[in-house]
Amino acid sequence: MAKNVGIVAIDIYFPPTCVQQEALEAHDGASKGKYTIGLGQDCMAFCTEVEDVISMSLTVVSSLLEKYGIDPKQIGRLEVGSETVIDKSKSIKTFLMQLFETCGNSDIEGVDSSNACYGGTAALFNCVNWVESNSWDGRYGLVVCTDSAVYAEGPARPTGGAAAIALLIGPDAPIAFESKLRGSHMAHAYDFYKPNLASEYPVVDGKLSQTCYLMAVDACYKHFCQKYEKFEKQQFSVADADYFVFHSPYNKLVQKSFARLLFNDFLKDASSIDETSKEKLAPFANLTGDESYQSRDLEKASQQVAKPFYDAKVQPTTLIPKQVGNMYTASLYAAFISLVHNKHSSLAGQRAVLFSYGSGLTATMFSLKFNEGKSPFSLSNIATVMSVDKKLKSRHEFAPEKFVETMHLMEKRYGAKDFVTSKDCSLLAPGTYYLTEVDTMYRRFYAKKDKDGAIENGMVANGH
Ligand code: ACO
């Protein structure tokens, strides 16, 4: 049986087009600091009319295979997590098959998983379980998380973002699953959902979604701790993991979520809570669950207690989510990539606990362990290949007015047929796929900007 199954290689793509939160705040007439300090966000990426979740996934998958020299025949399972509906029947995975058909590999299991921001985690678990199972044929699994997170004008709009992430799954991984350490919480809630199939925008009950998220953090942490205690025969507290990585709709919620873990540790008298912290949290010891979610004083006190832990164990995970925004299914893994980017040289032997949340609702907390890894799958090479700094620095900032104009065009294009795009790929990096046309039968066609910046036609323009 395969050992140390987990993430062998990673790549990330986000659109080169973005809007600064400070500028958006002023444009929207929000009070100064609401998006930057209140939500904790710096910048937000978005797709223009030449990009979508399919083009972003084509870009990230071809980039990962190319950079690691992986023969497409070596992929035996491909799973996509996304909540961006392009077609109610045909999966995004089938579009990606175009990258494998050219080399004669059609023997690839897997389809799409969807439940809000959780689909990527479902896809990841499917791939890991496959490699650990009797059905495994010795080839790699590949997980793709891809979303364009856009909201209607209003308070939710600054919590958008866009990205696609590819995770190569196999045995002897530098980032291995501690498969037994998983705690889930799943329930029925109408906090965020997409019942209007004519619109890309969700219906969102913002306040309810915040409470559902925090309740899921608590429930998953309890189940996770119980599993740890069952298998490791000792209590778990935040001191037992080096890093905590959260699904990140916006940074403020991550700060509040991590503080809840410390409050949970306090309630069970865990070793992570020293005497001073105990005194600070003592007034809240007898609150009911509901009261504890409403109490601003508790929020303040637990964030104070959590601060030094947050700086060491969470802050290194926040770079890309703050810069790119909520990427729905890709959001948690963008936070994880930020950690690898920032700390790759010191991660060997350490543990990261991840929290995945999808509205509606589904949530899981799970654990990963790092080791150096062997070339080309060493942690330092993974960090180099992703070139996060370069990708962030080479972006083009749009004025808020131009961002809003783009959103209006995207509203018209969503679900539409019989149009050609501008095919303007001047802002895209070489190697990026882009949408060229949707024909009268809603069939979508893509091209790739080649390495010299010229257009490479035909490869994914099936039948054209
Ligand atoms: N300076 C500093 N802070 C400010 C300022 C200011 N000028 N103005 C407001 N704030 C603070 C507020 O006090 C608040 O902080 P708090 O959360 O600590 O109270 C924060 O900024 C946000 O302000 P609110 O008035 O609460 O924001 P609003 O209700 O308008 O919108 C929300 C926030 C609900 C998150 C909205 O953006 C939304 O609906 N987003 C989509 C849903 C979402 O992301 N949910 C999270 C989980 S589900 C998922 O992943 C999709």
Residue 405 lies in a domain: yes
- Would you state the pLDDT for residue 463? 34
Specify the 3-state DSSP secondary structure of 369. Answer: strand
Residue 103 lies in a domain: yes
- Would you state the pLDDT for residue 1? 84
Has residue 462 got a pLDDT over 70? no
Has residue 312 got a pLDDT over 80? yes
End-to-end C-alpha distance for the chain, whole angstroms: 45
Give per-residue pLDDT as tens, 382-395: 999 999 999 999 99
One-letter amino acid at 132 equals E
* 340 Cβ contact partners less than 8 Å away, ≥ 6 residues apart: 10, 175, 347, 379, 382, 383, 386
- Would you state the pLDDT for residue 393? 98
Average pLDDT over residues 29-57: 98
Determine whether 341 is an active site residue: no
Residue 435 lies in a domain: no
Residue 177 lies in a domain: yes
> 253 alpha carbon to ligand 1 midpoint, in Å?
9
d(C-alpha 21, C-alpha 33), whole Å: 9
Which atom in ligand 1 lies closest to the alpha carbon of residue 157? 37
> 387 alpha carbon to ligand 1 midpoint, in Å?
31
Has residue 70 got a pLDDT over 50? yes
Has residue 459 got a pLDDT over 60? no
Alpha helices in 202-330, H assignment, sequence order: 206-232, 251-267, 275-281, 289-294, 296-313, 319-324
Query: What domain range is 123 assigned to?
Result: 6-415
- Would you state the pLDDT for residue 461? 43
CA distances, 201 to each of 52, 146, 281 (Å): 14, 16, 40
d(C-alpha 175, C-alpha 371), whole Å: 7
The average confidence (pLDDT) of the chain is 96
Determine whether 247 is an active site residue: yes
- Residue 98 CB: number of other CB atoms within 10 A? 16
Residue 302 lies in a domain: yes
- Would you state the pLDDT for residue 457? 54
> 171 alpha carbon to ligand 1 midpoint, in Å?
41
Q: What is the DSSP letter of 216?
A: H
- Would you state the pLDDT for residue 85? 86
Catalytic residue, from 18, 127, 247, 341: name it. 247
| Number of separate domains in the chain | 1
> 110 alpha carbon to ligand 1 midpoint, in Å?
37
Ligand 1 site residues (CB inside 6 A) read 31-34, 37-39, 117, 155-156, 159, 192, 204, 206, 209-210, 213, 249, 252-253, 326, 359
Specify the 3-state DSSP secondary structure of 359. Answer: coil
**Residue owning the nearest CA to atom 11 of ligand 1:** 38
Give per-residue pLDDT as tens, 133-189: 999 999 999 999 999 999 999 999 999 999 999 999 999 999 999 999 999 999 999
Portion of the chain with pLDDT greater than 90, in percent: 96
Has residue 458 got a pLDDT over 60? no
Has residue 277 got a pLDDT over 70? yes
Domain harbouring 209, CATH code = 3.40.47.10
Q: What is the DSSP letter of 49?
A: T
Give per-residue pLDDT as tens, 109-125: 999 999 999 999 999 99
Q: Answer for the pair 174, 377: CB distance below 8 angstroms, yes or no.
A: yes
- The closest alpha carbon to 80, from 130, 120, 107, 128, belongs to 120
Rg (CA), the chain: 22
Residue 118 lies in a domain: yes
Residue 162 lies in a domain: yes
Average pLDDT over residues 81-88: 94
- Would you state the pLDDT for residue 455? 61
Residue 446 lies in a domain: no
